[in-house]
Amino acid sequence: MSPVPAGMVYVDGEFYAPDEAKISVFDHGLLYGDGVFEGIRFYNRRIFKLDRHIERMYESARLIGLTPPIPPETFRSVVLETCRRSGMSDGYLRPLFTRGKGDLGIDPRKSPRGSVIVICSTIALYGPKHETGLKAVVSTFRRTPPVSVNPHAKTLNYINNILARSEANARGADEAFLLDLEANVTEASVDNVFVVRKGTVYTPTTRNCLEGVTRETILELLREHHPVKVQDFKLDFLLQSDECFICGTGGEVAPIIEVEGQPIGAGTPGPVTREVVRRYSELVRSVGTPIPTEPVDLGAPRARAALAGG
């Protein structure tokens, strides 16, 4: 019997224990991946960059033509109250907007009202290798081009990323890098990419990958002490680097020590990578939006009814 997951789940106006939360099988987020989401961390009862994540989530919804059923300030209160009810000090948030219930056709007009879901739980991506370093391969699948899907929309459809990660699993690797149609390095399966060459740190542009909130944070930290360049680069540039690391909210900062069987630099986490790991860990554990100790006001009765679809 699987253990009951820790946390709390909010679905359209109601709070549930994680193993009791349910959505309709006719929800277009389930049927077609028609929705958007965020991954948010909280440490020491502080939510890191909550407002930036909410801003990006509403932008993602705009990019796919999805109208969230509640305004940002109410959604923020829902996130805070979900965290408070979980009783957790450290954890991971997965808020979602889906297109909502519809019929078995893809026409978004058949889903008249979107759904709001907030999952408060935990996440662990790489285990002990998070410190010793990950081995990566280059996926044979190319990153979905921006002329097909805007990469700045963090949508529920992750099949491109899942196929790359499944390929890495089959080849005995921990991660997979995705190239674009011009063979530029874009990102790992769920993380942005950084490399270090001769003291300068490079990261790909976001013309064909997600504008990661963790990426933004790492760039801010790096620019205090290192020259940084944001530019496209090919696989051979990465393979000839002194260091490589990936970053994302779920995986935080993780060293890449080998790609396609070739060591990166000395084949161990390098000094810049270790510095970034340390400084990022210190930052996220020292700042953020406090999780309240008292119940959060979710609005007037009419607003609460709207949250529940009434």
Q: Which residues contact 278 (CB under 8 A, 6 or more apart)?
A: none
Q: Is 272 strand, coil or helix? A: helix
Q: What is the pLDDT of residue 4?
A: 64
Q: Identify which of 293, 302, 307 has the alpha carbon closest to the alpha carbon of residue 87.
A: 293
Q: List b or e across 77-92, with b for residues whose CB sees 16 or more CB atoms inside 10 angstroms.
A: bbbbbbbbbbebeebb
- Whether the CB-CB separation of 59 and 151 falls below 8 Å is answered with no
Structure tokens at 112: 């008249």
> What separation in angstroms does the CA of 112 have from each of 30, 145, 160, 162?
16, 30, 28, 30
Structure tokens at 187: 């990102």
- Whether the CB-CB separation of 190 and 67 falls below 8 Å is answered with no
Residue 308 carries which side chain, given as an amino acid letter?
A
Rounded-to-integer distance, Cα 271 and Cα 256, Å:
13
Q: Could you read off the pLDDT of 143-175 as tens digits, one per residue?
A: 999 999 999 999 999 999 999 999 999 999 999
> What separation in angstroms does the CA of 222 have from each of 112, 113, 218, 237?
45, 43, 6, 20
Stretch (H or E) spanning 217: helix 213-222
Q: What is the pLDDT of residue 1?
A: 58
Report residue 133 CA to chain centroid gap: 20
Q: What is the DSSP letter of 219?
A: H
Q: What is the DSSP letter of 260?
A: T
Q: What is the pLDDT of residue 306?
A: 46
Rounded-to-integer distance, Cα 245 and Cα 192, Å:
9
**Sites in the chain below the pLDDT cut of 70:** 1-4, 300-310
Write down all domains in the chain, each with its CATH number in brackets. Answer: 8-123 (3.30.470.10), 129-284 (3.20.10.10)
Q: What is the pLDDT of residue 131?
A: 86
Q: Could you read off the pLDDT of 210-219 as tens digits, one per residue?
A: 999 999 999 9
